[in-house]
Amino acid sequence: MAVIYAFGDSVTYGAWDVEKSGWATRLRVFLDEKQQKDPSLYYLLYNLGIPGETTEGLVKRFDHETQARRRGDEEVIFIFAFGANDNAYLVSKERFRISKEEYISNLNTVITKARVISPKILILNITPVIDEANALPRNDKVRSNKYVTEYNEALEIFAKEKDVTLVDVYSVFMKAGYESLFDEDGLHPNTEGHQLIFKAVKSVVEKMLSK
């Protein structure tokens, strides 16, 4: 038995993927199909994505989200996909919603707790955005690939220091021509974008399940 906790924001939730409700849902369907073909397998995937959430919210809810679902004897895989809301620049306050230092500190807090439960942890970095669509404030927030890159660089250093698997979805998008992988807001991946995230995560999860 394996239980997968997929923590994240609106992208993990599946926003804008009208075809299959996002990469995490696609991963669940994939595991359900494996289970159907082989009754000896048993998987549970909890989509714990909350639109608009930052790592600050993750820290607040991590304990009760996991405790409510733990059975005690199952294999556990943790997936964390945060940053797109942390690195939103608040124009009226002239600061990021969650600073880069706080972002890393919050992830460190949660990963330290997750590691007590399981060593199988993976983090997704932040997907790019369409700069032109996000240059003007929307709900007081401005987003930019410059900000995404800064947070992703800090995340890469952190992942190496903590020996945590990093899934580089940013590079996957850039190599695929990221401009066509978003819906009209230039922030949330479309169906094709979610499919690319799913494929990148699936390959890592499959390796973890085989160990």
What would the pLDDT profile of 140-155 be if each residue is shown by its tens digit? 999 999 999 999 999 9
pLDDT (mean) for 44-62: 98
> Cβ(28)–Cβ(46) under 8 Å?
no
Q: Could you read off the pLDDT of 63-97 as tens digits, one per residue?
A: 999 999 988 889 999 999 999 999 999 999 999 99
Strand intervals (E) in 119-201: 121-124, 141-142, 165-167
Tally the C-alpha atoms within 13 A of residue 37's C-alpha that lie toward its C-beta: 5
Domain spans, the chain: 2-210
- The answer to whether residue 211 scores a pLDDT higher than 80 is no
> For the whole model, what pTM was predicted?
0.97
**8 Å CB contact between 158 and 88:** no
DSSP 135: S
- Give me the amino acid identity at 131: D
Tokens standing for residue 165 = 């698997």
Nearest to 142 by CA among 133, 150, 134: 134
- What Cα–Cα distance (Å) separates residue 40 from each residue in 120, 187, 203, 206? 21, 40, 21, 16
CATH number of 2-210: 3.40.50.1110
